[in-house]
Amino acid sequence: VVTSVKVVVYVDVRVGEEIDIGYKFNLDIGNLTSNVSAADIVEIFKREGLKVCVSK
């Protein structure tokens, strides 16, 4: 169970292509503090109901 989420993410999604996310992040999610992929971040956002800011 995720009890706390601290996320600072810069996301760049190229619409119409396979998702390509360039990001910089600071995560504190249980023991998950490193080796976090872009897909993991998106999944975490979805699971926690957070919004991903998209820049074009």
More confident site: 50 or 32: 50
If residue 46 lies in a helix (H) or strand (E), which one and from where to where? helix 38-48
The pTM for the full model equals: 0.29
CB–CB of 22/37 below 8 Å?
A: no
Average pLDDT over residues 38-42: 68
Lookup: tokens for 9: 């993410």
pLDDT of amino acid 4: 52
Q: Is the pLDDT of residue 51 over 50?
A: yes
Contacts of 18 (CB under 8 A, 6+ apart): none
Q: What is the mean pLDDT of residues 33-52?
A: 64
Contact 14, 20 (CB under 8 A): yes
> What's the mean pLDDT when you consider all of the chain?
55
Q: Residue 41 corresponds to which amino acid?
A: I
